Amino acid sequence: MNAPTLTPRRFGRLIGVSLGPGDPDLITRRGWAALQSGARWAYPVKRAEESSYALDIARRGGLAVPDDAVELVFPMTRDAITLAKAWARAAAQTLQLLAEGRDLAFLVEGDASTYSTFRHLARAVRELAPEVEVDTIPGVSSFAAAAAVADLALAEEDETMAVIPAAYGTAVIDHLLDEFDTVVLMKVKPLLDEVLDLLARRGLLASSCFVEKVGAPKQRVVHDVASLRGEKVNYLSLLLVQNPKRQRGELRRGCRKRAEQQAVTAVS
Ligand SMILES: C[S@@+](CC[C@H](N)C(=O)[O-])C[C@H]1O[C@@H](n2cnc3c(N)ncnc32)[C@H](O)[C@@H]1O
């Protein structure tokens, strides 16, 4: 019988390496191993040759940036044409690198599946070459780390939680505060004053916390959120809002009842 022939992989793997939101101690062992696996590094920047927050996390962790690490430009703009061009360029560049047959570790700030360029990049690359293998290494999200440094729980027992970009606006946020015990407002910078007005109207300033650059050297945790009015905060910031006054509906406890019954049967 003939031995099966192994077809060499045409492309290297695209690996999304979550680095956590700033503190290099929050890089997972799997993420750390991927960075040291010999894969080529790629990191996101907003403009060519600008500093990269993700790359800086790895650097602060004591890792030397490989000489052949490449930057991929993802501009911060809402202009659809500029964005489409930038994405097409980044995807083509990524595919060209993967075609060398070497794995590519894309450095991601926070968690790679949470509002991250990585999933979008992976999709765009697979549109060009569906056979490209993608590996996502999960990590600590900004809001999980923010809750920890703020000494707050995101959700306990039966509590509910929503995570949204603040850009949905205050009418939507107002509605969500009726439905969820905790609302995490990501990308809060452009709407901060409007959101503070809403929180003041609803009497929720005291149960809110603002966290900026969590885990980075310039981390800031502000419990007196009203003091932020008029301030130009950093893009890497979020608000954790808890609504202790939320009216809860009745919980359907079917599953819990069944589990309790099984436990009783097992004992008797
Ligand atoms: C494009 S999203 C990236 C989210 C990230 N992948 C995560 O897992 O949290 C950017 C938004 O995430 C939040 N964010 C990311 N890093 C942060 C940090 N170090 N401190 C506070 N907020 C952060 C901010 O709301 C920021 O506007």
Query: Could you report the per-residue pLDDT of 83-130, keeping only the tens digit for each?
Result: 899 999 999 999 999 999 999 999 999 999 999 999 999 999 999 999
**The pLDDT of residue 247:** 86
Query: What per-residue confidence (pLDDT) applies to 249?
Result: 78
- Report the pocket of ligand 1 as residue ranges, CB < 6 Å: 21-22, 109-111, 114-116, 141-142, 146, 186-187, 211-216, 235-238
Residue 205, pLDDT score: 98
Task: Please check the confidence at residue 256 and state whether its pLDDT lies above 70.
Answer: no
Helices 80-98 and 117-128 pack at an angle, to 10 degrees, of 70
Residue 110 CA to ligand 1 center (angstroms) comes to 7
pLDDT top residue among 78 and 2: 78
Farthest-apart Cα atoms in the chain, separation: 78
Domains of the chain: 14-140 (3.40.1010.10), 143-242 (3.30.950.10)
Q: What are the backbone angles phi and psi of residue 131, rounded to the nearest 5°? A: -80, -5
pLDDT confidence band for 170 (50 / 70 / 90): very high
Q: Mutate which of 109, 111, 212 to test ligand 1's pocket (most atoms within 8 Å of Cβ)?
A: 109
Distance from C-alpha of 43 to C-alpha of 71, rounded to nearest angstrom? 5
The Cα 41–Cα 104 span in angstroms is: 6
Q: Residue 248 above 90 pLDDT? A: no
Cα 217 to middle of ligand 1, angstroms: 15
Q: How high is the pLDDT of residue 24?
A: 98
Question: In what side-by-side order are the strands of the sheet with 14-18?
Answer: 70-73, 40-45, 104-108, 14-18, 134-137
Average pLDDT estimate for 234-245 = 96
Question: Of all residues in the chain, what percent carry a pLDDT higher than 90?
Answer: 85
Ligand 1, from 108, 236, 240: best to mutate by most atoms within 8 Å of Cβ? 236
Atom of ligand 1 lying closest to residue 142 CA: 9
Nearest CA, atom 21, ligand 1: 237
Pick from 47-61, 64-78, 241-255: least confident: 241-255
The answer, yes or no, to whether residue 259 has pLDDT greater than 70, is no
List the end-to-end C-alpha distance of the chain, in Å, as a whole number. Answer: 60
What is the distance between the alpha carbons of residues 231 and 251, in angstroms, rounded to a whole number? 41
Average pLDDT over residues 33-39: 98
Say if residue 250's pLDDT is above 90: no
Ligand 1 probe mutation, 121, 186, 221, most atoms within 8 A of CB = 186
Task: Write down the H helix ranges in 99-226.
Answer: 117-128, 142-150, 170-179, 192-201
Residue 135 CB neighbour total at 10 angstroms = 15
Distance 37 CA to ligand 1 centre (A): 26
- Ligand 1 centroid to Cα of residue 7, in Å, is 41
Quote the mean pLDDT of the chain: 93
CA 239/CA 241 separation, integer angstroms: 6
